Amino acid sequence: MKKILPIILILSIVVLTTIGLVGCDFGPKKLDAPIVMIVGNTASWNADSNAVSYLLSINGNLIKVPSTQTTRKLLEGQTLKVRAVGDNEKYLTSDWSNMVSYMLSSGSGNGSGSGNGGNTTPTPTPTPTPSGAVDLNFLMINDTHGAFTDSDSSVSIGRVDTLLNNLESENGDYIFIQNGDAFQGSYVSGETYGKAILDALNIMELDAFVIGNHEFDWGLDKIALYADGNQANGEANFPFLGANIYYENTTTRPDWIKPYTIVEQDGLKVGIIGVIGYGQESSILTRYAKPYDFAEPLPIIREWAGYLRNTMNCDSVVVSTHSYEEGLNVDIASLSGQYRIDAIFCGHKHQRVTESVVRTDAQSIPVVQCRDKNQNAQEVILRFDGTTKDYVSYYTSVKYPADYAISSRVQTVIDSYQELIDLSKESLGYTSSYIDKGTLGSYATEALLDYTYPQNTFGSIDLAIINTGGVRATIDSGSITRASVFEVFPFNNMVVIVNMRGSLLKSLCSNNSGFFYIAGDYNTLSDNTMYQLAVIDYVFEGTRYREFEGCQYIETGVLMRDLLIEYIETIY
């Protein structure tokens, strides 16, 4: 019996451990990138039983194929790479495979590399508008992030205006779209809650403004003021779009946010549907995101596309989405008939993208996105048959506003904010060398750790934390100005002091060490001792950090950026 008991005990431990492992939620697993081979003109890749489909990039054109298809014939000059698409519950979409190409003149090739195929898509050569055809002209910018004046990392919105004026003088009217995250990011725009950028966009005769996640950074009520009919607090001369932004647990949008706008150009009616990226609530301070839901965009796009074509008699419908998701772009292209879309304008990822997706009618439609802070703009021209008003083809071109002067009319707007501009240039110190993000993150946490908070009744601060994503820029050698610090930390994050047990604090830091800047050594903390943590509200309110649940805390009302400014003034 004595020999049997240890065996029973060991078996029990094994069983309980197995049950425990099965019950743990390790999150979805990323699928392995396919391996693509090519023989002759036929490319093939290994099947993955966990893939729900495959996403093909053929010369940058994105095509979704069923999970049962693992081969594709290529034409001469075509390149192919493949992703295995997951269900996003148990499996995440893989990285891109190696790239292969078929060149008849030199036999079959097997290239490699996982670069962004969308950025290398051949663009149709522009041709004069043929007789009987009509061109719709668009210029899109996204993620302007308060680029009101020029700086080391920003190009003034006034240069975009000159670019737009030049294009219109050459080709006629353009539909001008700002695709989200326009206001937050610079000193002047931040101090005016975006009104400086608003005034510039008004004078530039913007046609559509899509709400992005950073429009929530001060609370969406700050932006709502620009659509309340009261000129005294500033008023937008353009519509704010967000077809999938609803009040929490409802399908009701704020009445000032519209699902679409219609613009007429050269006898064609164009419907522009605006949506925000699904799941971007996690990129917003919880208190400001909580009153809203961002619904799955595809069915909403489909609904409004049908309405615009059937009820509003639009000749063309385009989507402007503050997101860049290849799968969603392919799904949008799969909308057919009365629900079809003619172009997709993207944002949020700060990447220059010029690619296309193939519709069910075999037509390729453009997918474009810009980098942030007006580093580039995207011109899109859609060509239509003048008689049938059917979509025929497209042309895209990347434009660089830095190549143009600031327009006189936007310069007038800039001049009206000169007092704030002068204040932004106030020097806080001087650095003889470049300051990287890691150093700036360390400065911020040290500033939080060293400050004496009048509201603090817990005791001395033992540790300080900010998230790495909160550091948005670097500082070049030379004078350190208020404007440069604002670009590094544009968010109005307040400091929260949390009274935490050592075991929880160690768990928080060790589980997120790659995502936090931390001042203090959490490894030396005692599990059962209470410690005081200074942390920014974005981290404290983040739903992913369960360690904060049930902890006592104090909202100090102290702005983290102000503490950093004091810290920099002290050490430089």
Which pLDDT tens digit goes with each residue over 523-535? 999 999 999 999 9
- Mean pLDDT within 22-32: 65
Structural domains in the chain, CATH included, are 29-115 (2.60.40.10), 119-419 (3.60.21.10), 426-571 (3.90.780.10)
Which range is most confident: 35-49, 81-95, 399-413? Answer: 399-413
Q: Choose between 110 and 276: higher pLDDT.
A: 276
pLDDT at 11 over 90: no
| Residue 258 reports pLDDT greater than 60 | yes
Residue 549: what pLDDT?
93
Is residue 185 exposed (0-12), middle (13-18) or buried (19+ Cβ within 10 Å)? buried
The answer to whether residue 26 scores a pLDDT higher than 80 is no
Q: Are 82 and 55 in contact (CB under 8 A)?
A: yes
Q: Give residue 103's pLDDT.
A: 77
Q: What share of the chain is helix, strand, coil (3-state, %, to 5)?
A: 30, 30, 40
> In this predicted structure, which of 73-77, 97-101, 361-365 has the lowest mean pLDDT?
73-77
pTM: 0.80
CA dihedral 205, 422, 438, 431 (to 10 degrees): 140
What is the average pLDDT across 501-518?
94
What's the pLDDT score for residue 16? 44
Averaged over 337-356, what is the pLDDT? 96
**The dihedral formed by the CA atoms of 331, 347, 238 and 287, expressed in degrees to the nearest 10:** 100
377 pLDDT band (50/70/90 cuts)? very high
Mean pLDDT of the chain: 90
Question: Can you give the pLDDT at residue 65?
Answer: 84
Confidence bin at 104 (pLDDT 50/70/90): low
Nearest to 217 by CA among 489, 525, 569: 489
Asked if residue 23 has pLDDT above 60, the reply is no
Answer whether residue 375 shows pLDDT above 90. Answer: yes
How confident is the model over 212-218, as a mean pLDDT? 97
Identify the pLDDT of residue 76.
Answer: 75
